[in-house]
Amino acid sequence: MKRVLNKDDAKAFIKGFVKIFILTYLFYRYVLLSIILAAIFGIINIKLDEKKRREVWKWQLNLEFREVMTGVSSALNAGYSIENAFKEAAKDILILYGDKSVMLKELDVMNSKLALNQPIENVLSEFAQYCEVEDIYNFAEVFQTAKRTGGNLIETARSTADKIGNKIEVVREIKTMISGKQMEGKLMNMIPLGIIVYFWISSPDFLECMYTFKGRPVMTVLLIVYIAAYKWSERIGDISV
């Protein structure tokens, strides 16, 4: 099955193309080579950007799932069945996040399956496998066990909401603490490129030897070192909980 490119893919390609074209032109000052390398990375960046969008989607899904669990717990406490509790949770999500809610779309799919009399535990298990979010997967496993053994579903939903909430707060605190350092890292990554541009403007002949046949291997080594340092600075700030 062929992949259909969308607007996000086009933006990812253009973003990757421009970024690598500027980078390679600064290091090689060779338009054709820069275009070729930029086009290759632009194609690769489509997959990289898709992965990033997927992570953002999963993070937002986890945020909204906490509210779903709170709504389900309240509905069960009010005497609703578990199936109707998820319908009530969809109404709460619509009020809290509006039509653009990512969880609302998933709840509509789940409620449609429930309307066809599919077992709730199967619906939750399929959803957990689809979204690949650890907290949701754990809830689906616990819920399946509680449903089979006659456990307290209200407490299960409330406990899940509390655990997800605590985890989200920890992640937010970590992001707040390292956000300043991440900005410093981005600025430091721009300094080597700024130095090259500075010499281009102030002393055009100073780097001329680096763009010759003998100088380009040196620039290649420097480019590799720069990319390695850039990726390293990204990995330092990439903390998962």
Write the pLDDT tens digit of every residue in 58-78.
888 888 888 888 888 888 888
Whether pLDDT at 2 is above 60: no
Tell me the per-residue pLDDT of 103-127, one tens digit each, with 9 for 90 and over. 888 889 988 988 888 888 888 889 8
Among 153, 103, 149, 112, residue whose Cα is nearest residue 130: 103
pLDDT, the chain, mean: 85
Residue 94 to residue 114: CA distance in whole angstroms: 19
Instruction: State the amino acid at position 100 in one-letter form.
Output: K
Whether pLDDT at 241 is above 60: no
CB atoms under 10 Å from CB of 168, counted, come to 16
Report whether 181 contacts 237 (CB < 8 A): yes
Whether pLDDT at 195 is above 50: yes
Residue 9 to residue 46: CA distance in whole angstroms: 5
Tell me the per-residue pLDDT of 35-46, one tens digit each, with 9 for 90 and over. 999 999 999 999
pTM greater than the 0.85 cutoff: no
Tell me the per-residue pLDDT of 13-27, one tens digit each, with 9 for 90 and over. 999 999 999 999 999
